[in-house]
Amino acid sequence: NAGVTQTPKFRILKIGQSMTLQCTQDMNHNYMYWYRQDPGMGLKLIYYSVGAGITDKGEVPNGYNVSRSTTEDFPLRLELAAPSQTSVYFCASSYQPGLAGSGANVLTFGAGSRLTVL
Amino acid sequence: GNSVTQMEGPVTLSEEAFLTINCTYTATGYPSLFWYVQYPGEGLQLLLKATKADDKGSNKGFEATYRKETTSFHLEKGSVQVSDSAVYFCALRANQGGKLIFGQGTELSVKP
């Protein structure tokens, strides 16, 4: 089982460059999420999606965009990279929260993408 | 609003010591509570969970009891190992359709 796969694992960007972090899952989860992790700050939700064609903002969406054209893929795009976007980014997926069953409410995370903006 | 507060780290223990990592929460209604663990260089993975008051979640020797009266979900382990060195995150989901809210994480370092 591949689970949640993120690419790239590491990337260095210059200020103003753009890039896309890729995320794909093979568990047929309908919910997908993007978080950023900053030291001592825990995880902050950037964007999430409840299914193909549907996305919504989380706590810290500014400077990012997402799309969800398929159930499997949920790319995160940075249009004009800024030093404040230096972070570790995690993609996650889950079944619909609140459904019956032991798998509900549990997120499966990717291994993370470390992004540095200089 | 809903929030999770964890004890600050890093926590450094010797092997076989007793571990407690405190977690308290603020939420309306009846949240579900979770502990996730992040090993070095990896993503987060679920360690244990509890969905209602007085439930005890347990896994790999770790335990946490959902205490509604004290709004707490402290993580405990009787005898830690070097392999338990990781960052531990407490999290809540405030309602069935809600998103996970994470605490800031507590780094645990276990020395041989």
Q: What is the pLDDT of residue A98?
A: 60
Residue A82, number of CB atoms within 10 A of its CB: 13
User: How far is C-alpha B21 from the geometric centre of its chain's CA atoms?
Assistant: 7
pLDDT higher than 90, residue A85: yes
Q: Are B77 and B71 in contact (CB under 8 A)?
A: no
Contact check, Cβ <8 Å, A106/B103? no
Whether the CA torsion A92, A96, A99, A101 is positive or negative: it is: negative
What is the nearest CA distance from A107 to chain B, expressed in angstroms?
7
* Residue whose structure tokens are 């571990």: B19
Residue A89, token pair as written in the block: 């980014």
Q: What is the pLDDT of residue A97?
A: 65
What is the average pLDDT across A69-87? Answer: 96
A21, A27, A37, best to mutate vs chain B, most B CBs in 10 Å? A37
Nearest to B3 by CA among A99, A41, A89: A41
Confidence of residue A20 (pLDDT cuts 50, 70, 90): very high
Share of chain A above pLDDT 70, in %: 92
Contact check, Cβ <8 Å, B104/A45? no
Nearest to B46 by CA among B57, B31, B54: B57
Residue numbers of chain B with a pLDDT score lower than 70:
95-98
Return d(Cα B108, Cα B17) in angstroms, integer: 12
Question: CB-based contact (8 Å) between A107 and chain B?
Answer: yes
What is the average pLDDT across A86-100? Answer: 83
Q: Are A17 and A38 in contact (CB under 8 A)?
A: no
Q: What is the pLDDT of residue A100?
A: 53
Return d(Cα A89, Cα A116) in angstroms, integer: 11
What is the nearest CA distance from A16 to chain B, expressed in angstroms?
28
Read off the DSSP letter of residue B98.
Answer: P
What is the nearest CA distance from A14 to chain B, expressed in angstroms?
24
3-state class percentages of chain A: helix first, strand second, coil last, to nearest 5: 5, 50, 45
* Residue whose structure tokens are 């470390």: A114
E runs forming strands in chain A: 4-7, 10-13, 19-25, 31-38, 42-51, 54-57, 64-66, 76-78, 87-94, 108-109, 113-117
Q: Are A4 and A94 in contact (CB under 8 A)?
A: no
pLDDT by residue (tens digit) across A24-66? 999 999 999 999 999 878 899 999 999 999 999 998 999 999 9
pLDDT higher than 80, residue A101: no
Mean pLDDT, chain A, as a whole number? Answer: 91
Q: Are A116 and A86 in contact (CB under 8 A)?
A: yes
Residues of B in contact with A45 (CB under 8 A): 99-100
Q: Are A18 and A115 in contact (CB under 8 A)?
A: no
